[in-house]
Each structure stands twice: as C-alpha cells, then as structure tokens.
Amino acid sequence: MTASVLKNLSRLLVATLVTVLVGTIVSSPAYAQSTTGPGIITMYTNGWVQDSVRVQLDIPEINPAGCPNTNGYITKPSDPGNHAYQQAVLEAYRTRLVYGVGHVEITVSNTTCYIGWPQIIGVTLNK
C-alpha cells in the first residue's frame, strides 16, 4: 500500500472512532436514571429552608448513585421540573389517604445525589 492510502485509512479509522465515541457520550444520558417499582408513599416531608420534598415508599429503596442516605428520595430546588415532581408526589400521597388507591413510581438519577439522598428526576402516577 502506498503512503497516501495508509494515511486515508488512518483518517477514516480516526473519524469512525470519534463518531462512535461521540455517539456513546451523547446517548449516555438516556441510561442515567432508574425507576422504582410501583409503591405507596408512606412519608412526605418538605424542606425546612428550601423548596424541596422528600418521600419514602413502602417498597425497597433504589440507590443507583450510592447516596449516603437511603431512606427516601428528594427533589432538587434548581431542577426545572421541581414543582411538577412535588405536585405529583403530593397528589399521589393525598389520593392514597383519601381514596385508598394510587401507586407512584419514582425515577432517580443514576449519578447524582442531592444533600445526600437519591435525586428525583421524574414521577409516574398509577391507579
């Protein structure tokens, strides 16, 4: 093979590796969360000096980020969805108290804790 052919193959290989690497990095956030199974909220508490809510469920905790506190999940005040998460967990809690029905699934970050607890990044309400 000539030097120019080897040079072009080398460039092609580098371009391919960069494309694969960038694709892996860009798609990684899709796997950056875990979701509990359906559970009942057994504890709901709000932050004393900040706009956050912490909840506990009646099912085994998940803690993919390895947070030091393992007794519940918490919202982060600076998250764009913070108020939506808070409203959803409060509604699930009230529905269960009033009607005796309603399960919730909590989605938490696989990589982030907030003040020591797994950080809520999504809430799903079920019948």
Same structural domain, 12 and 42: no
Same structural domain, 59 and 80: yes
- Predicted TM-score (pTM) of this structure: 0.73
Same structural domain, 53 and 87: yes
The total number of structural domains in the chain stands at 2
Same structural domain, 49 and 65: yes
CATH number at residue 54: 2.40.50.140
Closest CA to 55 of 23, 103, 112: 103
pLDDT (tens digit per residue) in 68-98: 999 999 999 999 999 999 999 999 999 888 8
Same structural domain, 106 and 57: yes
pLDDT (tens digit per residue) in 4-58: 644 544 454 444 343 333 343 343 455 689 999 999 999 999 988 889 999 999 9
One-letter amino acid identity for 16?
T
Domain of 12, in residue numbers = 1-31
Same structural domain, 47 and 105: yes
Same structural domain, 102 and 122: yes
Same structural domain, 44 and 22: no
Same structural domain, 84 and 99: yes
Same structural domain, 81 and 21: no
CB 118 within 8 A of CB 108: yes
Same structural domain, 93 and 55: yes
